Structure formats: structure tokens, C-alpha cells
Structure 1
């Protein structure tokens, strides 16, 4: 199964706000939706999908298991609860949201429990999120790279994460980019704006097209219909070598997501 290159993120969106965002996105043609247990919006996402009238078979739904549910006794029951909230018999992709803090639950234990969830039909594919190279090595040792569909990591023009990306690519592990617009900071960048002007595009379209051109999946979120529609058009934008070279110069290791007590030792 191929990870959709373009999807809808729902981080920080809840209740009626996330319902409206998901329903609008599905109406516009989005078919991949990314949520997580800790977002506290799975039930609202499930309601939006149910009310959208879009067939389940057309959708690619991703959720993520929170750190409190990583033990082999808790993981599958927590995923079944996610399915209940999402009103579906299965999700297309389940990720380990963050590695277990202080290695309280070993990578081997939780990734093998997640593989069991796949074997029992609760999820079509499994993957990881916020994993460093040493953590990916442990996951591969436990279940094999062929069972790890993606590593979802923070990745933007300001944090291009080349070491992790290149290492994952060599193992055949796909990359999904989150925080691709750098909380909106990158939208104001002069280099990005110049490329946007050149192509008659928006800065968001340029950044998303750059990430997809690098081979990553993207999951931007928005509450505004015009932005949801505009972002979708990034799939039609092709950047040239000069554009990519200009964006490469923006790398400055500007990491925006590194929660204390949760973040691993970054590469």
C-alpha cells in the first residue's frame, strides 16, 4: 500500500472546528485524513467522515498511538477504542506517535504489539513518528523495515532533517512531513515568496510542492475553505532545480516541536 502523497492534518483542531475542516476537505477532494489519540478529536473526525457521505473504501485514515498506551497489554485495546471513535473497522495506517519516554516500554515491545494489530486486521499498515536513526534501527531489528510504512517527522524548509531522511530512504522507509509550513513562519520567507511570485503560486503551495518533490507525504491543516482548496493545488506545481537549490539554503535546524520529557535525543 502506498502512503497518499497529500492528506489533511487535524492537529490542534477539535469539536465543531475539526468537523468543519474534515467535511470541507472531503468535499474538495481530499481522501487522506491524519489524526491521533492525543489530539482528542478522533470521535469528531469519525463523525465528519460519517456525515460526509464519502465511502470508507475511498479514504486513507491515519491515527497514532499515544505513549501511555504503548505497552503490549494496552496498545491493541487503545487502538480498538480509536476505531470505535472513528466509526470504522480498521485504519489504513497506525503510527507510534512518540517513542516511549526514558525507554519505559522498549521499542521491540510496542512495535511488535503494533505488528500484531496489523496481523489481526485493525490496521492495514504500521509506522513510526518522531523516530531518530537509533530508534529506527531498533524498530527495524524488531519487525523488519518492510513492515514500517513511514516515519512521520517534523520537516520544513528550516528543518530539512537530511540525516534522518537519507538513512530512512536507504532502508526503504518512506517519510511523512509534519509542520511543513513551520507554523506559518516559512510563509513569510523572502526566498519562498520569490519562488511563489515566479510561479504565480502561494508560498504554501511552494513549500508543499517542494516537500512532495523531495518524495515526502504532506498533511497540512487549515480551517479555511480557500486555504484547503489552495493547498490541494500544490500537487500541480513543479519546482525547478534553481527553486530547490534556493530552498536548500534555508536549512537552519529550526526545530519547533521538541516537548520536554517526550522528545528523543535528536539526530
Structure 2
């Protein structure tokens, strides 16, 4: 049993849990709401699209973090990890498999939401589906979902599931919605404090890079493809580093 088998096991376990059915209920609710509102070029239509897309993204993130944060601690608590590692299997393969499984399960949830969103946008006119900004936004949210899941796995190797969930959501909220304020705060400092805070700011995962919902809602046009690819590369590389660090810490951990 390798990483792929572990990932497949994680996806199956996740889809059997009640969270999957919560996603289905949310999708139905989203579909009903979209049927009842008018999504057009008016200010109200833009607001509705903005709210709906934010619901899609945030609901997926809200499901992804608990899924990823409980993978490793739950296996340790139930002793499942001993069975899996007795195959034998390197610990890094086990961590990689669990991380990939959590990311895949979360991505399935996001894709389900997005399919409903796409269908409803199509029924309201369909022109939005031809906008490359929509597909850029979706791709970037998939990468953000991967990064957030990897972050939750990283926190889970040295904290409880509740702690990992809290740390992940806190980091996500600060960097996605408060990065500019944080940058301004650092800019207002000086001397040693500024030299200390600036590297820390650069090392944090910049979730704000992945949110281009406003570009789609207000029809500002897609990102330049070199910028888009750069953001994708940043998210993938950061996720790989987090999973590698998680594997390293877990390998040193006494089970």
C-alpha cells in the first residue's frame, strides 16, 4: 500500500461521512437561491454573484480544514496508523497519502459547488461561462484549497485537531482578508521590529493572491497569464513544502 492507496482510502472515508451530505444540501440551497435572484449586469446582480461565489469558496474551505486537520491525529488515536505503517510503509508516504486524500476530497466538494454555480449562471444567460476570469478564479480557488489543506495537515502533526483547525482558519482569515492592513501595520513600524516582522510576513501563506472574485464580478478582465501561472506555481510549491515539513516532523514523532 503506497501513497495513492492511502489517498484513495482517505477520499472514500471522507465521502462516507456526513460532511459530504452537508455539501449536497448546501449545493441544493445554492441552486434554489440562484433560481430566485436575477444575476445580470446591474449593481444588484453583481452583488448577488459576489455573494454566491464567496459562499461557494468559503463553504469549500470550511469543509476542507476539518477534513485535513483530523487525518493524522485520528489515525494515531484509533491506532490505525500502526496497521498502515506495518505494511511496511515509509512515514513520508503515509503523510503524503493522507494529505493528497484530504486535498482530493476537498476538491471534489469545491467542484460540486462550482458545477451548480456554472449551471445556474448558464441558465441566467450563459455569457459568464465564456469569461476566462471565471475559470481563472475557479483554478486559483482549487490551489488555495490545496494550500489550506496542506496547512491544516502541517498544524495537525504537532497539535490537536481543534488546534490545527483554529490555527488554519486564523491564518487564512488574516492573510485573505487582512493582508493589506497587516502590511500597512508593518510599514508603520521601524528598526528591529520592522526587520523582524517583514520576513515573517513574507513567509506566511498569502491567500489573498488567490481571490480574484471581484475581477469576475465587475468584469475587469482576466489576469495576465504569466501572473496567473506565477500564483499557481506559488501555491503548489508552498503546499509541497508544507507537506514535506509535515512528513519530516511526523517521521521524528514517537507514536
Q: TM-score range by the shorter chain?
A: under 0.3
Using structure 1 for the length normalisation, give the TM-score: 0.24
Task: Tell which structure's C-alpha radius of gyration is larger.
Answer: 2
The one of the two structures with greater contact order (alpha-carbon pairs below 8 A, sep at least 6) is 2
**Structure with the larger strand share:** 1
TM-score (norm 2): 0.25
Higher percent of residues as helix: 2
